[in-house]
């Protein structure tokens, strides 16, 4: 058993000792059986939140109204959720109320897919009420119960289906797939942030091209920001030889496929509720990609970006099948005599001391000096720069 599980065993044992049931549930059991990396374990219990808080010394009320308490044990934290069902789904979004229930099988019933509806006790016995083990074996994503009903309860599950397709490289069960085709419009009811998180996981998973095809064919893509009516442009994605592997490059690729002009990138990224930092990173990557697609960049172009942007743009060129010698660009960047403004041995006040009058020309001359240095026409040395300035002033 991987360490994430063995470390959690004392917590489950402690709950058991107090007369309650406790199980590992959901994604961690699925990933254990698949032999995938497990980042954390989720625990489900018959104990009420108040009872969990009585058993353990250190707890945090993470989502007490949903039945979740975080227990701190041995330097680790565990989310422990009381068995519950959900009711009163309105607007095709998450439930209004949760109801605590006394048995595990009621709790498993509310979960999205059979492969996510598995539980495991401290002895390692797997509880599988919906044939999830068989679906894991067959590599099938199948809704628990009637797919249509489950997507009516929470339309995000349709995005989760294509997300798991991509992450696990699984197929969709035909009835689950049919229900997505029939109900894709309901995705419009879901908040952008929740859609985005699933979209990104779908877009960078190992099976992203197969999943993206379903995302397009089912009509789901029509319901997300900026994608409506763009099926044809996006149809390139499933045909790519390589798929993006980072969040930034997924967005950069979308922007390129959708032919979003530079001055609309910020708007597009904001529609998806992406952070300003990610937006900057993506815009820089797209801009540099456009540059290297059109021409061989000069050293000053390389100086103005950073290594991460260069590497992302090279990745994009690779994804889009453009013939670019990436290593040569990286080598040239590495060989630049200065890589940042602060690598320069002088600054604006040095220029003033050397007779340049205050004003906008200070910045312009600094830029000119940087350009000369990165192009190898001037040495990054105070004497050499003084000399250059003297000539410059004489020539005026």
Give me the residues that bind Mg ion (CB under 5 A), please: 27
143 vs 317, beta carbon nearer ligand ATP = 143
Would the annotation count 196 as a binding residue? no
Contacts of 359 (CB under 8 A, 6+ apart): none
User: Does 204 contact ligand ATP by CB under 6 A?
Assistant: no
User: Does 67 contact ligand ATP by CB under 6 A?
Assistant: no
Nearest distance, CB of residue 221 and ligand ATP, angstroms: 20
Per the CB < 8 A criterion, the answer to whether 268 and 260 are in contact is yes
Length of the chain as a residue count: 396
Among 154, 210, 223, 279, binds ligand ATP (CB under 6 A): 154
Instruction: Mark 157-176 with x for binding to ligand ATP (rule: CB under 6 A) and - for no binding.
Output: x--x----------------
User: Does 205 contact ligand ATP by CB under 6 A?
Assistant: no
Interface with ligand ATP (CB under 6 A), residue total 10
User: Does 207 contact ligand ATP by CB under 6 A?
Assistant: no
Among 15, 26, 41, 329, binds ligand ATP (CB under 6 A): 26
Among 291, 249, 284, residue whose Cα is nearest residue 266: 284
H or E element in which residue 72 lies: strand 68-73
**Distance from C-alpha of 133 to C-alpha of 382, rounded to nearest angstrom:** 71
Contacts of 209 (CB under 8 A, 6+ apart): 237, 238, 239, 240, 243
Give the one entry of ligand ATP, Mg ion, none that residue 156 binds, where binding means its C-beta sits below a cut-off of 5 to 8 angstroms depending on kind: ligand ATP
4 vs 336, beta carbon nearer Mg ion = 4
Among 22, 44, 156, 369, binds ligand ATP (CB under 6 A): 156
DSSP category for residue 148: H
138 vs 298, beta carbon nearer ligand ATP = 138
Nearest distance, CB of residue 116 and ligand ATP, angstroms: 3
Nearest distance, CB of residue 27 and ligand ATP, angstroms: 2
Give backbone dihedrals phi and psi of 306, rounded to 5 degrees, phi first: -110, 175
**Distance from C-alpha of 121 to C-alpha of 163, rounded to nearest angstrom:** 27
**Distance from C-alpha of 259 to C-alpha of 253, rounded to nearest angstrom:** 10
**Distance from C-alpha of 83 to C-alpha of 207, rounded to nearest angstrom:** 33
184 vs 268, beta carbon nearer ligand ATP = 184
Maximum Cα–Cα distance across the chain:
91
Structural Rg of the chain based on CA atoms:
28
Residue numbers belonging to the annotated binding site for CTP: 27, 30, 111, 154, 157, 160, 163
Residue numbers belonging to the annotated binding site for Mg(2+): 40, 42
Residues of the shown chain interacting with ligand ATP in the complex, contacts defined by CB under 6 A: 26-27, 42, 111-112, 116, 154, 156-157, 160
């Amino acid at each position: 058993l991987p360490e994430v599980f063995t470390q959690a065993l004392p917590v489950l044992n402690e709950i058991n000792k107090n007369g309650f049931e406790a199980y590992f549930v959901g994604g961690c059991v699925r990933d254990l059986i698949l032999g995938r990396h497990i980042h954390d374990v989720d625990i489900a219990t018959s104990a009420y939140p108040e009872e969990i808080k009585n058993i353990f010394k250190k707890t945090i009320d993470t989502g007490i109204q949903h039945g979740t308490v975080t227990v701190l044990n041995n330097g680790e934290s565990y989310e422990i959720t009381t068995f519950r069902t959900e009711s009163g789904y309105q607007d095709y979004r998450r439930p209004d109320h949760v109801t605590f229930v006394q048995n595990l099988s009621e709790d498993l019933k509310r979960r999205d897919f059979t492969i996510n509806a598995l539980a495991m006790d401290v002895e390692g016995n797997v509880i599988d009420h919906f044939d999830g083990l068989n679906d894991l074996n067959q590599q099938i994503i199948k809704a628990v119960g009637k797919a249509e009903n489950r997507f009516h309860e929470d339309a995000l599950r349709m995005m989760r289906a294509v997300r798991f397709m991509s992450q696990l490289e699984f197929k969709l069960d035909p009835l689950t797939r049919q229900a997505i085709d029939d109900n894709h419009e309901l995705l419009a009811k879901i908040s952008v942030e929740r859609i985005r998180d699933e979209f990104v996981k779908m877009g960078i998973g190992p099976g992203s091209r197969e999943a993206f095809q379903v995302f397009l064919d089912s009509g789901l893509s029509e319901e997300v920001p900026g994608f409506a009516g763009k099926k044809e442009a996006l149809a390139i994605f499933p045909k790519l030889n390589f798929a993006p592997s980072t969040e930034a490059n997924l967005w950069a690729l979308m922007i390129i496929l959708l032919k979003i002009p530079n001055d609309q990138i910020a708007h597009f990224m904001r529609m998806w509720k992406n952070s300003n930092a990610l937006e900057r990173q993506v815009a820089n990557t797209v801009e540099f990609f456009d540059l290297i697609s059109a021409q061989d960049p000069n050293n000053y172009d390389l100086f103005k970006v950073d290594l991460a942007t260069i590497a992302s743009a090279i990745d994009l060129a690779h994804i889009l099948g453009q013939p670019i010698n990436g290593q040569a660009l990286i080598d040239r960047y590495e060989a630049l005599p200065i890589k940042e403004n602060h690598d320069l041995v002088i600054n604006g006040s040095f220029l003033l001391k050397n007779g340049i009058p205050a004003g906008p020309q200070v910045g312009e001359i600094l830029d000119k000096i940087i350009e000369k240095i990165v192009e190898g026409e001037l040495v990054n040395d105070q004497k050499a720069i003084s000399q250059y300035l003297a000539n410059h002033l004489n020539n005026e």
